[in-house]
Amino acid sequence: MLWVLWIGARRAYPIANLNSLFVSFALLLAPLWFFGFGAGSWLRNIFRSKMALILGSTPLAVPWIVFMLWTGRGRWEPGIWILLLHPLLSALLVIWKPLSRMGWQDWLALAAIAAIYLLRVLDAAWPFPGSTLLPKLFVADLVLYLYCVVRKLDGMGYSFVPIADAFKIGLREFAYFLPLGIGLGMLLNFIHFHPRVPSPLAVVSGILITLLLIAVPEEMFFRGVLQNLLETRFSKTTALLLASLLFGLSHFHKGAPFGWKYILIATMAGVFYGRAWRAQRQLLASIITHTAVDTVWSLWFR
């Protein structure tokens, strides 16, 4: 997968410091990948004390440190956030450990993470074209550590082990959403069909980029963590609608100062992503739905 992404990166971003960016990207991607095969349980067995849980997150700053030492181009101001966010939020959930229900600690932690990401506080840490996805991966690593290791949130379903039902559910929800999403998008004059035959490499790289950089981080946060926690306070339907609305609102800055059309379509898509996850509480199902929708969108609609 890294090889395919490396080829795509070289074609899309022919810049001098691409090697350092890609190494940093690979290091940021590693937690997302290995947590999908049980790394969270392994770390929970190692970090048994409160101090171990707080300090155990510090290696997640390594991708930025490597980039800084390699290029000397990153800025130290966002680097302070990178170095402090993990231990501070880990301490919040360790010292004032929330109950099984969503507590004020969760609201505070998730609000801080969302603000850091939406305000683009970390963008200057990797100041190169094409590096805007690296802060997103960093935030995803942070959320994974907090809720797979520190908080030990049940029912996330974060696993990449292939399950036949997850594929069936994911593709089913994709089939349900596609005509509605395309219909609404064209009715609002938000998307237009562009018939073409993409190359196999474009299809494969498009699927991998969407899967790893968009679907996995977003589904882990909005379904595995947010919708999951909301279900401890509200009914499943209310949690689904709230998580979908927040997912839609997170797209407000795309395409316009306040892209209400994008928000509306993303909210509708979020309902089907949430349905896919909720069916068997498997993130792989919603990841498949999300990947299929965004891949079709990127290849044939603009």
Which sign does the torsion angle of CA 88, 139, 68, 34 carry?
positive
301: helix, coil or strand?
strand
Whole-angstrom distance, CA of residue 161 vs CA of residue 149: 19
Count of domains observed in the chain = 2
Instruction: Tell me: do 149 and 2 sit in the same domain.
Output: yes
Q: In the chain, what are the helix, strand and coil shares in percent, each to the nearest 5?
A: 75, 0, 25
Domain boundary at 153, 168, 189, which?
153
The answer on 195 and 120 residing in a single domain is no
| Residue 151 φ/ψ, nearest 5 degrees | -75, -25
Instruction: State both tokens at 179.
Output: 């005509």
Q: Does 294 have pLDDT greater than 90?
A: yes
Highest mean pLDDT among 3-17, 31-45, 114-128: 31-45
Listed in sequence order, the DSSP H helices in 96-211 are 104-118, 133-144, 164-187, 200-209
User: Is there a single domain that holds both residue 103 and residue 30?
Assistant: yes
pLDDT tens-digit readout, 230-263: 999 999 999 999 999 999 999 887 655 667 899 9
Bigger pLDDT: 202 vs 68: 68
Q: Is residue 185 classed exposed, middle or buried when 0-12, 13-18 and 19+ CB atoms within 10 A define those classes?
A: buried
Identify whether residues 261 and 132 lie together within a single domain.
no
- Per-residue pLDDT tens over the stretch 58-89: 999 999 999 888 887 777 888 888 999 999 99
Residues 247 and 127 in one domain: no
Please check whether residues 188 and 220 belong to one and the same domain: yes
Average pLDDT over residues 283-300: 95
Token digits of residue 66: 């490597």
Query: Is the distance from CB of 40 to CB of 158 less than 8 angstroms?
Result: yes
Residue 83 burial (10 A CB sphere; 0-12, 13-18, 19+):
middle
Nearest to 53 by CA among 83, 25, 87: 87
Say yes or no: 147 and 166 in one domain: no
Contact assessment for residue 31 and residue 144, using Cβ atoms and an 8 Å cutoff: yes
Q: Does pTM top 0.85 for this prediction?
A: yes
Per-residue model confidence as pLDDT tens digits over 95-149: 998 888 999 999 999 999 999 988 888 988 888 776 678 999 999 999 999 999 9
Q: 3-class DSSP state for residue 193?
A: strand
The two structure tokens encoding residue 115: 């603000």
Inter-CA distances, 19 with 3, 8, 22, 70, 201, Å = 13, 13, 5, 9, 21
Domain boundary among 135, 153, 171: 153
Task: Please give the Cα distance from 143 to 225 (Å, whole number).
Answer: 8
120 and 169: one domain? no
Asked if 228 and 269 sit in the same domain, the reply is yes
Count Cα atoms within 13 angstroms, Cβ side, for 87: 12
Domain range enclosing 140: 1-153
Final residue of a structural domain among 153, 180, 195:
153
